[in-house]
Amino acid sequence: MLLRGCVQVYTGDGKGKTTAAVGLSVRAVGAGLRVFFAQFIKTRESSEFAALASLGGHFCLRRFGRGFIRGTPSQDDIMAAQAGLLEAKGAMLSNSYDIVVLDEINVAVSLGLLLSEEIVQLIKDRPECVELILTGRGAPEDIIAAADLVTELREIKHYYHKGIKAREGIEY
Amino acid sequence: MLLRGCVQVYTGDGKGKTTAAVGLSVRAVGAGLRVFFAQFIKTRESSEFAALASLGGHFCLRRFGRGFIRGTPSQDDIMAAQAGLLEAKGAMLSNSYDIVVLDEINVAVSLGLLLSEEIVQLIKDRPECVELILTGRGAPEDIIAAADLVTELREIKHYYHKGIKAREGIEY
């Protein structure tokens, strides 16, 4: 159990935000902590989650996004994100998890699926013993202000620009 | 197996560099790839490695550092890092691994344990099918130039400044 949880944000345009949250999760499960990992936006199957679930610890993955959204989000997209936020809040308050990850939540805000005020309220409602991890590019100022730790991942160089496509085991 | 490996660098003063490499490793092992994870510098036991080893995939952790170094490195420190570099190069060329992580290698260079030219040579010797991941703050310019992907993690805010100490399951 965590005695003192914090709020961590991983933002910026560089590769590694979700990956850092996955790394934190494996470390936490390895230390006997319980992790609730909520994915907003992304829905592609990704190799790490089967591995994390197989660790035999307490790891729960939930996916609320309806895939990458082009153009204006539909009412269904908004409802999926809102349902996700509610469930994540429930998990945070349930006393069943030490760490709650809101993966790509910043993107859900940028897309207008959620309001940053709703996320700030969730941060305010956080029990002291829960660690909150928020990821996604474009973290709004009020979320950054409410966080204890903020890391910006900056893309200095990316092989996408060389035409290398996403590879199984590396990007997903 | 990877058809086309790349060279990724995670640098900067922000939290999440080693964590991103751990996240990449769990994803890779989850996809059936084989990972050699070499730790330079750090030696503290960290919760994620027992978890990674328990995945049942092909994950090999090797530690070459002799702990955090204060002042001028000793001859023993230098020999430990040199032995590590040799072993990592052997792993890279062995056809037994798809991913080779050189964790905190940039710090080993900054401390004068290794020369950046040695790392650049290792990058040049990389077989096409191997992914190399290099971490550590202060990546030298010639390593950045030789890499395919570089992410700089910038510290925007850190709870260390609030007096929060490293916590098991979160920082280690």
Identify the pLDDT of residue B128: 96
CB pairs under 8 A between A and B: 189
Residue B37 lies in a domain: yes
Identify the pLDDT of residue A43: 64
Residue B144 lies in a domain: no
Identify the pLDDT of residue B68: 67
> Can you tell me the distance from the alpha carbon of B61 to that of B50, in angstroms, rounded to the nearest whole number?
10
Residue B58 lies in a domain: yes
Residue A34 lies in a domain: yes
Identify the pLDDT of residue A109: 96
> Can you tell me the distance from the alpha carbon of A153 to that of B155, in angstroms, rounded to the nearest whole number?
9
Smallest CA–CA separation between B72 and chain A, in Å? 30
Cross-chain residue pair A51–B32, CB shorter than 8 Å: no
Number of domains in chain B: 1
B45-104 pLDDT, tens digit per residue, is: 788 888 888 887 789 999 987 666 777 888 989 999 999 999 999 999 999 999 999 999
Residue B160 is given by DSSP the state G
Residue A13 lies in a domain: yes
B34 pLDDT band, cuts 50/70/90, is very high
Closest chain A residue to B54, measured at CA: A55
Q: Which of B96, B102, B98 is nearest to B40 (CA)?
A: B102
Identify the pLDDT of residue A122: 98
> Can you tell me the distance from the alpha carbon of A142 to that of B105, in angstroms, rounded to the nearest whole number?
36
Smallest CA–CA separation between A2 and chain B, in Å? 8
In chain B the beta strands, taken as DSSP E runs, fall at: 7-11, 35-39, 59-63, 99-103, 131-135, 149-157
Q: What is the CATH number of the domain that holds B36?
A: 3.40.50.300
Question: What single-letter amino acid sits at B170?
Answer: I
Residue B133 lies in a domain: no
Rg over alpha carbons for chain A, rounded to the nearest Å, is: 15
Q: Which residues of A touch B172 (CB under 8 A)?
A: 27
Smallest CA–CA separation between A142 and chain B, in Å? 14
Identify the pLDDT of residue A67: 67
Range of the domain at B106: 23-62+80-128+159-172
Below-70 pLDDT ranges, chain A: 42-43, 66-68
- In chain A the first and final C-alpha atoms are separated, in Å, by 30
Q: pTM for the complete prediction?
A: 0.90
Residue A166 lies in a domain: no
Identify the pLDDT of residue A14: 94
Identify the pLDDT of residue A3: 82
* Dihedral, B28, B31, B32, B33 alpha carbons, nearest 10: -30
